Amino acid sequence: MRILIVDDEDVLQDVLSSLLQKAGYETLAARTGREAMTLLEQEKVDLVLLDLMLPDARGLDLLKEIRSRDPEQVIVVITAFSSVEGAIEAMREGAFHYIPKPFKNDEVLLTVEKGLEQCQLAKENRELRAQLEQPFGFHNIIGRSRPMEQVFDLIRLAAPAKSNILVLGESGTGKELVAKAIHQHSRRADGPFITVNSGSMPPDLIESNLFGHVKGAFTGATSTKKGLFELAHKGSIFFDEIGNIPLDTQAKLLRVIQEKEFMRLGGVETLRADVRIIAATNAAIEDTVQRGNFREDLYYRLNVITIELPPLRERSEDIPLLVRHFLAFYAEENEKPVEEFSSEAMRLLLGYAWPGNVRELENVVERAVVLSQGSVVDLDLLPDSVREQGSIAVPSASLPNGGISLKEAISGYERQLIIKALQASGGVQKRAAELLSVKPTTLHEMMKRLNVSVDNIAIH
Ligand SMILES: Nc1ncnc2c1ncn2[C@@H]1O[C@H](COP(=O)(O)OP(=O)(O)OP(=O)(O)O)[C@@H](O)[C@H]1O
Ligand SMILES: [Mg+2]
């Protein structure tokens, strides 16, 4: 347990810190309000012992500032006996307790101990509440499959760390959602979360957007403008589709990461960047690195921790949860009494390969809710793609009246599965082979035998 002592008198600092250290606590010392706030930004502090008489700030103002930064921070104030009003005011502003000066050692220890108990209790409550609110997921990321549990564990571990993080995953797997969850579970949660989508910026404006510019830096720069790095100060910056960043901007980005400094375009002042970078990409970034379109040194700087999001087809047990989640949301938004998908419709959703992952599933559910006229969504409200491919996973086992050619039926089934795998992999045969657990050469032979070609199948 760590206690921050805020007091400008050296004697009191010494007395209090040795008393608390002897009792087994770790202590930090601040002599001014500024110092206290800086320390609280940097360190996790369980309890603040605050003298209401400080040189640079009114103790009460500091108390308010600390509480507005973290409403659950436990604060015990120390006040001169003569200023009972100050103590009462402090309690009203959320101080846990007050200790009048001169104090007895036992009194300090007892109050601190109670305050820390309160801190512990508040923490447990918070965790319990979080668990109750989100039984099947983490934050607002739904999922309880093994691969998603692993993702949640990684977020929990990585979020409070200072390292940059790279989030990998196919389109629609929830990369942005994960980036936000990381920010919200980091110590920067109260700071800004800024998204940079370089793909949607004109290339010649990327750098001025990122680093800002001074008046007259280029034609059209009629006034000085802050860049996204400045706006993200003390927060996180999320680089969506990092692979799209032009090479010369990559060099500047590397410098920001290494030196933690940058300049506005045309400026002379060096600015500090206290920013955590979370980057995402759905392309095979390692290939981009090998082709020389992405700096290797930058890649390693960004990729300190990798969080890889599994495609939806590898965690179909999450599908019913996601469906329920989106169904409830869109039913309420559209004021429709839709309650569930029929079991037949659900079977198709489970069998479908979801090349667009969770985003595609969300769209399918929204569409069904909007079109639905009853409380149950049936097959007819699913898009053709889902109806056609979703049924493939479980072959019909009934035998037609006139009998069947087993060979032909199996070939037909093989053909459909291969098409489905090719669609799911965007036409990449190596990936499709992986999905089917066969060698690429085997897939190639089968495609020839079954007359399947990548050119004449619809790829999403
Ligand atoms: N596990 C999940 N739980 C709930 N909603 C999810 C989940 N994963 C994704 N979504 C939703 O799906 C949509 C797409 O998610 P997001 O934008 O985070 O994906 P992405 O990986 O960034 O996609 P892209 O690569 O196309 O940008 C969003 O509406 C998001 O809320
Ligand atoms: Mg995205």
How is residue 58 written in tokens? 């009114």
Does the C-beta of 176 come closer than 6 Å to ligand 1? yes
CA of 173 to the centre of ligand 2 (A): 8
Q: Do 330 and 386 belong to one domain? A: yes
Q: Which of 253, 288, 308 is the last residue of a domain?
A: 308
Q: Write the pLDDT tens digit of every residue in 352-375.
A: 889 999 999 999 999 999 999 999
Domain contains 401: no
* Count of alpha carbons within 13 angstroms of residue 407, beta-carbon side: 1
Q: Do 119 and 154 belong to one domain? A: no
Domain contains 233: yes
CA of 171 to the centre of ligand 2 (A): 7
| Ligand with smallest separation from the Cα of 172 | 1
Q: Do 327 and 304 belong to one domain? A: no
| Ligand with smallest separation from the Cα of 143 | 1
Does the C-beta of 323 come closer than 6 Å to ligand 1? no
Does the C-beta of 142 come closer than 6 Å to ligand 1? yes
Does the C-beta of 419 come closer than 6 Å to ligand 1? no
CA 164 to chain centre: 12
Position 116 scores a pLDDT of 92
What tens-digit pLDDT sequence spans the chain (460 residues)?
899 999 988 999 999 999 999 999 999 999 998 999 999 998 889 999 999 887 666 888 999 999 988 888 999 999 876 677 788 888 888 899 989 888 899 999 999 999 999 888 878 777 776 665 555 677 789 998 889 999 999 999 999 998 999 999 999 999 999 999 999 999 999 999 999 988 788 888 899 999 999 998 888 888 999 999 999 999 999 999 998 899 989 999 999 999 999 999 999 999 998 999 999 998 788 889 999 999 999 999 999 999 999 999 888 888 988 999 999 999 999 999 999 999 889 888 988 889 999 999 999 999 999 999 999 999 999 999 898 877 665 454 556 556 666 777 777 778 878 888 888 888 899 989 988 889 999 999 999 988 888 876 766 4
List the residue whose alpha carbon is closest to atom 18 of ligand 1: 174
Q: Do 296 and 173 belong to one domain? A: yes
Q: Do 362 and 283 belong to one domain? A: no
Q: Do 247 and 347 belong to one domain? A: no
Q: Which of 308, 328, 343 is the last residue of a domain?
A: 308
The string of DSSP codes covering 40-84 is: HHHS--SEEEEESB-SSSBHHHHHHHHHHH-TT-EEEEEEETT-H
Does the C-beta of 244 come closer than 6 Å to ligand 1? no
What is the SS3 assignment for 238? strand
CA of 309 to the centre of ligand 1 (A): 10
| Ligand with smallest separation from the Cα of 169 | 1
Q: Do 274 and 211 belong to one domain? A: yes
How is residue 258 written in tokens? 């290494």
Integer Cα distance of 197 and 349 in angstroms: 31
CA of 174 to the centre of ligand 2 (A): 7
Q: Do 243 and 281 belong to one domain? A: yes
CATH number for the domain harbouring residue 434: 1.10.10
List the residue whose alpha carbon is closest to atom 30 of ligand 1: 174
Distances (CA, A) of 155 to 18, 138, 310, 350: 38, 9, 14, 27
Domain contains 13: yes
Domain contains 399: no
Position 400 scores a pLDDT of 58
CATH number for the domain harbouring residue 236: 3.40.50.300
Q: Do 171 and 258 belong to one domain? A: yes
Domain contains 69: yes
Integer Cα distance of 194 and 239 in angstroms: 9
CA of 242 to the centre of ligand 2 (A): 11
Integer Cα distance of 8 and 47 in angstroms: 18
CA of 141 to the centre of ligand 1 (A): 9
Integer Cα distance of 278 and 302 in angstroms: 8
CA of 238 to the centre of ligand 1 (A): 15
Domain contains 28: yes
Q: Do 212 and 282 belong to one domain? A: yes
Does the C-beta of 167 come closer than 6 Å to ligand 1? no
Q: Count of domains in the chain?
A: 4
Q: Which of 254, 275, 308 is the last residue of a domain?
A: 308
List the residue whose alpha carbon is closest to atom 29 of ligand 1: 359
CATH number for the domain harbouring residue 341: 1.10.8.60
Domain contains 292: yes
Integer Cα distance of 395 and 375 in angstroms: 28
Q: Do 154 and 297 belong to one domain? A: yes
Compute how many other C-beta atoms are within 10 angstroms of the C-beta atom of residue 236.
Answer: 25
Q: Do 295 and 320 belong to one domain? A: no
The string of DSSP codes covering 8-35 is: S-HHHHHHHHHHHHHTT-EEEEESSHHH
Name the residues around ion ligand 2, CB cutoff 5 A.
176
Question: Following CA atoms 266, 272, 276, 282 in sequence, which dihedral angle do they give, to the nearest 10 degrees?
Answer: 10
CATH number for the domain harbouring residue 40: 3.40.50.2300
Domain contains 361: yes
Name the residue range of residue 419's domain.
406-456
CA of 297 to the centre of ligand 2 (A): 24
Q: Write the pLDDT tens digit of every residue in 257-305.
A: 999 999 999 999 999 989 999 999 987 888 899 999 999 999 999 999 9
Does the C-beta of 359 come closer than 6 Å to ligand 1? yes
